[in-house]
């Protein structure tokens, strides 16, 4: 039987999900899970497409019947939702996880509810770090913003205990060998303070665990306070109180998307 060719006007090409895309990309865009998690599900054989077990490399559209562990995944409705990005001013003492066996407060409990999809954190901040944390309902955007290939700047205000010499700063900018490989600051700027408590603004282009603290510790200094103030083109709003969130407007979201318009390999 010949394939039926639909009239051109019946295909709305500006709608997300109507052109074939890799399974992990569409499910991430819909906020189901991260790409890596979806790939894991595919390998485990828990995703089916049109009644057949999905394989890595398979492409789908919103018109395909996708099931996760036998339950239908309704992509069309989720992908029609506009991309939202939320800025949250994280206080110290909160974890960036939905579940914690120790019962600590989760940042997710402070976020506004979505009508569809879920909030995905763009990177993490450890328990004792405060400042800018972003969330989006677009899992694909979150994945791109976190991907190491993007080399997106993260700027921190950091209070350092210890005498900081010019030689130390040169070491930090040139690169220091840590236990998990070489790391460096893209920039270091002194920003005030007295005695052994000095403030600096530093920039890193990666999201490695505790990398800012570990870099300073490599020079014999201790970080007594750490605040993320910028992620790419997004700054922590000066009037946003700790524990509160603020939705980005459409123009700001488009500017954020422009940072990652080249899709990283997965």
Beta carbons of 49 and 57 less than 8 angstroms apart? no
Beta carbons of 244 and 89 less than 8 angstroms apart? yes
Beta carbons of 185 and 235 less than 8 angstroms apart? no
> Tell me, what DSSP letter sits at residue 211?
H
How does 57-91 read in b/e, with b if 16+ C-beta sit within 10 Å?
ebebebebebebeeeebebeebbebebbbbbbbbb
Distance (Å, whole) CA 77 – CA 94: 32
Distance (Å, whole) CA 60 – CA 63: 8
Distance (Å, whole) CA 159 – CA 197: 6
126: annotated active-site residue: yes
Query: Which of 100, 126, 180, 249 does the annotation list as catalytic?
Result: 126
Report, as residue numbers or ranges, the catalytic residues.
Answer: 126
């Amino acid at each position: 039987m010949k394939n039926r060719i639909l009239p051109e006007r019946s295909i709305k090409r500006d709608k997300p999900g109507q052109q074939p895309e890799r399974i992990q990309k569409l499910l991430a865009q819909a906020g189901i899970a991260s790409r890596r998690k979806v790939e894991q599900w595919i390998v485990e054989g828990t995703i089916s497409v049109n009644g057949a077990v999905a394989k890595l490399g398979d492409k789908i559209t919103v018109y395909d019947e996708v099931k996760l562990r036998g339950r239908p995944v309704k992509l069309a409705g989720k992908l029609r939702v506009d991309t939202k990005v939320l800025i949250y001013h994280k206080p110290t003492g909160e974890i960036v996880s939905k579940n914690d066996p120790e019962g600590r407060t989760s940042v997710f409990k402070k976020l506004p509810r979505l009508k569809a999809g879920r909030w995905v954190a763009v990177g993490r901040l450890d328990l004792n770090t405060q400042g800018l944390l972003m969330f989006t309902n677009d899992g694909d955007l979150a994945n791109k913003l976190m991907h190491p290939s993007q080399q997106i700047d993260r700027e921190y205000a950091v209070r350092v205990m210890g005498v900081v010499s010019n030689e130390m700063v040169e070491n930090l900018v040139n690169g220091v060998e840590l236990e998990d490989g070489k790391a460096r600051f893209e920039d270091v700027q002194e920003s005030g303070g007295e005695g052994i408590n000095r403030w600096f603004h530093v920039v890193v282009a990666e999201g490695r665990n505790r990398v800012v603290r570990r870099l300073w510790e490599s020079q014999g200094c201790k970080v007594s306070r750490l605040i993320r103030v910028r992620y790419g083109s997004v700054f922590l709003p000066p009037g946003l109180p700790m524990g509160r969130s603020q939705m980005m407007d459409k123009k700001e979201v488009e500017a954020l998307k422009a940072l990652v318009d080249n899709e990283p390999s997965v």
